[in-house]
Amino acid sequence: MENQHIYNIDKQHDLDADKGYVVESYIAPCDMEIGDQMIAKGSWVAGVKVTDDDAWEEIQKGEITGFSMFGVGKREEVEDEEEVSKGLLHNIKKAINAALSPIVKGAVADKYNKNRKNREFWAAQDALNAVLFRWDSWESGMETDAEIIREALQDFVEIAQDVLVQEDIVKAIGQPEEILPLHY
């Protein structure tokens, strides 16, 4: 909706654009169901607010049951050397080039290591939550045993320090002397 032509909704291509406006427009990211209609991944989904009372009445009666697209093309001369920076063709070219480009050795390991700290921290948080909130039990609820809570928090703090404190930071400021006990 780059040029915001969202108000150009007419009836029977009469170019009298006062029947409604686009309220949402997207490409379905996966197969999905809207109402009783199956939408295939990659389908264009558009929602329109009908503002014309007569058109809305025809929709309610079932006289209007769908939309059709109308457009006017604009022809431009493009030299071979000129690069198209936006649009569908540019995106298709990028996708083809990405698919055909050689795989860089170590790329998987680089991506894995880049996100490792994030994954490890949230795994520790998830483990702490599982202990404190007992989600793995039918009798879920908050842990009430102070010793279990204290040990769980102490474990979490140790893991979080290991995950979050970078080696270069440890070298610069030194290793923590000890982990302080938690007091209530």
| Per-residue pLDDT tens digits for 69-93 | 766 667 777 766 555 456 777 777 7
Statement: the pTM of the whole predicted model exceeds 0.75:
no
3-state SS of 87-148? CHHHHHHHHHHHHHCCCCCCHHHHHHHHCHHHHHHHHHHHHHHHHHHCCCCCCCCCCCCHHH
Residues paired with residue 20 on neighbouring β-strands, in sequence order: 9, 50
Q: What is the pLDDT of residues 79-134, one digit of tens each?
A: 665 554 567 777 777 777 776 666 666 777 777 777 777 888 888 888 888 888 87
Question: Highest mean pLDDT: which of 3-7, 62-66, 152-156?
Answer: 152-156
Question: Is 131 in contact with 148 (CB distance < 8 Å)?
Answer: yes
Q: How many CB atoms lie within 10 A of CB 20?
A: 20
How many Å apart are CA 155 and CA 126, to the nearest integer? Answer: 12
